[in-house]
Each structure stands twice: as C-alpha cells, then as structure tokens.
Structure 1
Amino acid sequence: METAFTPYASLGGGVLIGLASVLLMATLGRIFGATGILAGLIDPTDPEDRKWRALILLGMITGPLVILTFTGDMPAVQVPISTPLLIVGGFIVGLGVTFGGGCTSGHGVCGMARVSPRSIIATITFMIFTAITVYIIRHVIGA
C-alpha cells in the first residue's frame, strides 16, 4: 500500500478545520469535536443545540459533493480492508473516544489550541498509538 503525499490538499483541509473550529468557538462558544457534535445530536442535553450540530454534520457529509461540483470528480477513497474490520475499527475508535473524553478533532485541534494538559496528553497518546498501528499493519502484518 502506497501513501499519497498531498501537501496542498492536506494544508487546505487543515486550514478549513481550523477555521471551522475558530468560528464555532467565536459564534457559539463550543468546541469542534466531531464525536461530541454527533453525540449531542443523538442525545442532546440542550435541544437548541440540535440545529447547529445537524448543520455541521450535514456539511461533513456533503463535502464530497462540493468537490464534485468544482472538480467534476468525486474524491478517491480507497479502503484496503474488509467491512468487518471497519466495524471492529469503528468499535475500537468509539471506545477510545469514550475513555479519552473526546476525539482527535476535539483534543488535537481545539484542546491543543487552548493548551489543555488533558488534550496534550490525549494527542500524544493518539500519535503514539497511530505510529504503533501503522508499523504493525505495514511491517508485521504486511498489509
């Protein structure tokens, strides 16, 4: 498996995520954590939150259609594993989000920007386990 190096697309995506995070904090005083946004939509503590949460998730879902509109092509997504492994991975990520008190966007983008010690530790943990996982998958399993 070859990993494509896409510095401009990655930079653009990072800028958009950062901008969205700043705008959400500036306008609603909320942290842009994707799993927290989804959880708050499914089981809201404040019913007034549903609208902005639904709009953000709608934007995440329809993003590829925006790319299609401007480029004429859908973004290429290749998933080199089976559906059962995707389900297992999703379950593991869900456990991590639950025990870690948030996801990579909440801790890595917003928490780090607020210099939250908890988020700094969580982000370091994400990065260590990401490196271990990539090493195991590419060099031990050989996928």
Structure 2
Amino acid sequence: MLVSPLLSPLLGGVLIGLSALLLLGLSGRIAGVSGIVGGLVNAPAGDRGWRLAFLGGLLLGGLLLLRLAPSALPHGLPAPWPLVVSAGLLVGYGARAGNGCTSGHGVCGLGRRSPRSLAAVLVFMTTGALAAQVLRPLLLGGAS
C-alpha cells in the first residue's frame, strides 16, 4: 500500500481540490466533469484540447493507481451490469438537469461559495442517500 488507509481520503481530497484550484487559476475553467465531457460534443476546435487532456489525466490516474496499488480498486461490479449502466445514465441525466455534477457543484461551486451549488449539493446528496436506502434493498435483495 502506498499511503496509510487513514491518510488516503485526506490525500485524495487535497489532490482533487488542488487540481480544481489549478484549473480555475490557470485557465479560468471549472473542473466539473459532466460539463467537460458534455462540452466535447459541440466544442470549438480550440476548446477540445484542454478537455481531452483533463479527461486523459483522469484515465491515466486510474491506470497508474491500478498499476501501483491494484488492491485499492474494487474488483467486479457492485450490481448486475444492466443496473450499473442504468444508474450511470440516470446520474448523467441528473447532472445535465442540475446544470452540473458533484465535481462542478460540490468541489468547485462550494469552494467559490455559490448558493446555487450549495442548493444542488444538498439536493443530490439527500436524493442519493434516500435512493440508496430505498432502492438498494429493492433491487439487490437487501444486499449491502
């Protein structure tokens, strides 16, 4: 293991915050992943490079973790794949409907003291907690 299990969440949070701060400070852009991905579709040619670099960094970071500490990543799916795909599509829809995702509102918006982001975070955290409590037992037969 590269980092103590007690320090891993702290180190991860610091790295996420630092990355968001650097992107905002150096380019004036918000590190909201759903907006970055969504912007790839209709982005002008000069706007695609940084988006692809950001997403490539996310992918390379995951691959680096897989190489250096494979036990840090889960193995297998937590639920049947159709359920995982459906959940992912619902998260994408929710991010679009809420004009942002957890990274855009939760990390960047709260860091900028945005009231709209605070409202969004309260809604999606409450909704996620309720959905987990209600839907998980129904869909997975009480598995936790």
CA distance in 1, matches of 2:18, 2:62: 18
Deviates more, 1:130-139 or 1:91-100: 130-139
Deviations, residues 21-63 of structure 1 (Å, cap 9, x unaligned): 000001100000001111112221x321211110110111111
Deviations, residues 9-31 of structure 1 (Å, cap 9, x unaligned): 22121111101100000110000
Aligned to 1:31: 30
Indicate whether 1:114 and 2:81 are aligned.
no
Q: Aligned AA for 1:42?
A: V
CA distance in 1, matches of 2:127, 2:55: 27
Q: How many residues align?
A: 136
Taking structure 2 as the reference length, what is the TM-score of the superposition? 0.84
Aligned to 1:22: 21
5+ long unaligned stretches in structure 2: none
5+ long unaligned stretches in structure 1: 1-5
Deviations, residues 101-141 of structure 1 (Å, cap 9, x unaligned): 01010000111111111100000011101211222245565
CA distance in 2, matches of 1:16, 1:131: 25
The answer to whether the 8 Å contact 1:67/1:74 transfers is no
Q: Aligned AA for 1:30?
A: R
Identity across matched positions, percent:
42
- 1:28-67 correspondence to structure 2 within 5 Å: 28-44=27-43, 46-67=44-65
Taking structure 1 as the reference length, what is the TM-score of the superposition? 0.85
The answer to whether the 8 Å contact 1:64/1:75 transfers is no
Q: Aligned AA for 2:142?
A: G
SS in 2 for 1:97: helix
What's the RMSD between the two structures over aligned residues? Answer: 1.9
